[in-house]
Chain A
Amino acid sequence: NAGVTQTPKFRILKIGQSMTLQCTQDMNHNYMYWYRQDPGMGLKLIYYSVGAGITDKGEVPNGYNVSRSTTEDFPLRLELAAPSQTSVYFCASSYTDNEKLFFGSGTQLSVL
């Protein structure tokens, strides 16, 4: 199993541009999550999904959108990039809630 795969690994955006961070998992996990981690800080939950077709907001959802059309994929969309969205983004999955999370290797995003 590849586990949780995120692409791209690095990206630089200009203010106002849009992009989609991709996340896919091959463990047949129902739950998927997007976190962001600012320098020197812990991870904060942006959005999560408990199954295909179901998404919900986490602690810091503003400026982001998600969709979950399949069990495997959980893309994160930035519509109008802002410097405040410069961060490292981690996708994670788990089989159910209250189960250990498996994380991807992250996407480092800079908005200039």
Chain B
Amino acid sequence: DAKTTQPPSMDCAEGRAANLPCNHSTISGNEYVYWYRQIHSQGPQYIIHGLKNNETNEMASLIITEDRKSSTLILPHATLRDTAVYYCIALSNSGYALNFGKGTSLLVTP
């Protein structure tokens, strides 16, 4: 599975959009981009995933560049409860997430 690179930390003001980037320049054609988040010490929670098209669900939007080498997770109106570590991983059809990496620690401030 392709390696992903994320900034270690980001801040966002409450009510504003949080845009979390992820670089996956070596991603192959059959690898999906998955996003999870981990609030404090809880188990990670699935957010969204996509292959090439942009995706949206009740939690977030995922924008994948046309060349698929990077993506952005968007939390449209961040709340204090969105403070968490966000993980971006690339996973093929028959792949398993071997390592979640360190992710991006997002701090939403009042």
Contact = CB atoms under 8 A, between A and B. Distances in A.
Interface of A: 4, 33, 35, 40-45, 48, 58-59, 88, 90, 92, 97-98, 100-106, 108
A76 B102 CA distance: 24
B77 to A, nearest CB: 23
Given A100-B46, A103-B43, A106-B41, A45 B97 contact: yes
Contacts, number: 62
Interface string B71-83: 0000000000000
**Interface bin, chain B:** 20 to 34
B32 A98 contact: yes
Interface in B28-71: 32, 34, 36, 41-46, 49
- Main SS of chain B's interface residues? loop
Contacts of B98: 44-45, 58-59
A101 B97 contact: yes
B95 A98 contact: yes
